[in-house]
Amino acid sequence: MKNLFFVMLMLFLSANCFAQKGLISYDDIKYLLHNNLNHADTFLVAKGYLITQSRNDKKNRKYTQTLQGGTHNNIGIRLDGKRLFIEIETNELSQYTIIRESIAQYLIKDGMVADIQSYAVKDLGNIYITVNDTAPYDPMRKDYDIQVVGDKHIIIYN
């Protein structure tokens, strides 16, 4: 009986770990904002993303990952001076949920202007989330556009 319980517990924990492997959380965003683009490449490739665009002259990077169920995550990282800007485009509800839940404990202020949810997050910056219907319309899916603007005190060195 103990062996059966142990095996079931291990299966549950391993399934939980693999389910969120490609999703980005508060800690991941914080790591990306504090490190240079080469660290972002290594980190996101380790999470299972593919580099779709890498332009060193313009300091832009784009990453994509196809998740189970036909959903996707697209991440765009832009270096502007010494500040990094992150944009996550996804139609995975779990990605939207994990970001909202992981920033909840660090939230300074949240608001809603038009259709944009805005969050001021301690030690991170501002996060803007836009939720739109998919094209073609599917009542079970939404498109989530998550933009992260790092705090002005967070700078990186290449």
DSSP the chain: -HHHHHHHHHHHHHHHHHHTTT---HHHHHHHHHS-HHHHHHHHHHTT-EEEEEETTTTEEEEEEEPGGG-EEEEEEEEETTEEEEEEEE--HHHHHHHHHHHGGGEEEEEEETTEEEEEETTTEEEEEEEEE-SS--TT-EEEEEEEEE-TT-----
User: Is pLDDT above 90 for 75?
Assistant: yes
- Residue 144 pLDDT > 70: yes
Lowest mean pLDDT among 18-27, 50-59, 82-91, 134-143: 18-27
Q: Considering the chain, what is the average pLDDT of its residues?
A: 83
Give mean pLDDT, residues 62-66: 94
Indicate the pLDDT class of residue 59, thresholds 50, 70 and 90.
confident
Strands 125-133 and 60-66 come out as unpaired
Please tell me the predicted confidence (pLDDT) of residue 7: 47
State mean pLDDT over 67-86: 89
pLDDT at 52: 92
Query: What pLDDT, on the 0 to 100 scale, is given for residue 112?
Result: 77
Q: Given this model, what pLDDT does residue 50 score? A: 94
pLDDT tens for residues 87-123? 999 999 999 999 999 988 888 887 877 778 889 998 8
